[in-house]
Amino acid sequence: MNRLRAAAASLLLVALVIAGLMFSRGSSAKSALPTTSTSSTTTTFVTTTEALSTTKAPEPTTTTLPPTTTTAPPQPPPTSDVTTTTSRPAPVLTGCASALPAQMASRNGASQVITVVAPYAASSYATLTAWKHSGSCWVVALGPLEARIGSAGISTDKHEGDDTTPAGIYNFESTMYGNAPNPGVHFAYQPLSCGDWWDEDSASPEYNQFVVVPCSDTDPPFDNGASEALWTETVAYPSFAVLDYNSHDIPGKGSAIFLHADIGTANTGCISIPLGDLDEVLDWMLPAGGPAIAIGTTSTITSY
């Protein structure tokens, strides 16, 4: 009996302890739940925080302007007065004006012009071109052809024996000569024979002239070593034309300036071209055209 009472008392005590624990947990749980006052406070805090975050001083703003590019207005192209500091460039010639005879200071009244142009004064090589006047223009009739001139080049102050070809513009004498039959020239043609000379003696009264002596006269007075026995020069003179250079026969001024056949080298002051070309040029020349020949360098040919 006593044992039962003790056990019941123990069970009661355990139940009371359990009930106390449960009550304690319930109170703790209830205290943990937000009350209306706590909720209001919490809401007020959040709202205040949001208000603070909303009403806080604005951060300084940086206004980034778009980059400005100052573009200078387009400038007009420079004029020749600005770009040219020393001299104006030579005008570019076109059409008829570009033809060499059209640029020459003089053509001696010719409607047929032969130009002989060396690259520089000391050169023994040149380019020969035959031009004809057609309408209002000058056009190429023959060439350009390779030519040889004096071994000492071109000179504006030609003297006997200096081996230069005289610069300038000249017409041709009225007679052509040759050791070969007439190749078809329109000028008077003199076949050469024994005793036909060209007098190149500055002291001779017949200086710079065609002279005929008897074939038996092997030592004429003007044969000073410079005069030419034309009939013996078969390679150079199958046919040739005579420039009227030094037509007044001024002693020492130079003589026997011919347009003749090439001999494979420079010469003593003439103009020489290959024989086939020579025949074409001589046949092309017409007395009525008053043909002229201009001799110079690339830089001087238009100035004569």
Q: Which helix (H) or strand (E) holds 285?
A: none
Residue 284 has what pLDDT? 98
- 246, burial (CB in 10 Å: exposed 0-12, middle 13-18, buried 19+): buried
Q: Cα(117)–Cα(124) distance, rounded to whole angstroms?
A: 11
Q: Percent of the chain scored above 90 by pLDDT? A: 64
Instruction: Please tell me which residue, 283 or 136, carries the higher pLDDT value.
Output: 283
Location of structure tokens 């300038």: 168
Sheet of 112-118, strands arranged across: 168-171, 292-297, 112-118, 125-134, 137-148, 271-273, 258-261, 241-242
Is the model's pLDDT at 15 over the cut of 90? no
Residue 78 has what pLDDT? 46
Sheet of 209-212, strands arranged across: 209-212, 196-199, 228-229
Location of structure tokens 């030419």: 228
Q: Cα(23)–Cα(278) distance, rounded to whole angstroms?
A: 145
φ, ψ for residue 10, nearest 5 deg: -65, -40
Q: Give mean pLDDT, residues 74-87.
A: 45
Residue 101 has what pLDDT? 93
Residue 19 has what pLDDT? 57
Dump pLDDT digits (tens) for 91-143: 445 468 889 999 999 899 999 999 999 999 999 999 999 999 998 899 999 99
Dump pLDDT digits (tens) for 19-30: 555 555 544 444
Dump pLDDT digits (tens) for 151-188: 999 999 999 999 999 999 999 999 999 999 999 999 99
Q: Percent of the chain scored above 70 by pLDDT? A: 69
Residue 228 has what pLDDT? 95
Is the model's pLDDT at 70 over the cut of 80? no
Residue 129 has what pLDDT? 98
Q: Cα(184)–Cα(188) distance, rounded to whole angstroms?
A: 10
Give the chain's mean pLDDT.
Answer: 81
Longest CA pairwise span in the chain (Å):
199
Instruction: Please tell me which residue, 77 or 43, carries the higher pLDDT value.
Output: 77
Please state the pTM of the whole predicted model: 0.69
Is the model's pLDDT at 269 over the cut of 60? yes
The secondary structure of residue 303, as a DSSP letter, is G
Dump pLDDT digits (tens) for 203-261: 999 999 999 999 999 889 998 778 999 999 999 999 999 999 999 999 999 999 999 99
Half-sphere exposure at residue 36, Cβ-oriented, CA atoms within 13 angstroms: 0
Instruction: Specify which residues 145 forms β-bridges with.
Output: 128
Instruction: Tell how strand 175-178 and strand 188-191 pair up.
Output: parallel
- 127, burial (CB in 10 Å: exposed 0-12, middle 13-18, buried 19+): middle
Residue 68 has what pLDDT? 47
Q: Cα(152)–Cα(110) distance, rounded to whole angstroms?
A: 29
Is the model's pLDDT at 66 over the cut of 60? no
Residue 219 has what pLDDT? 87
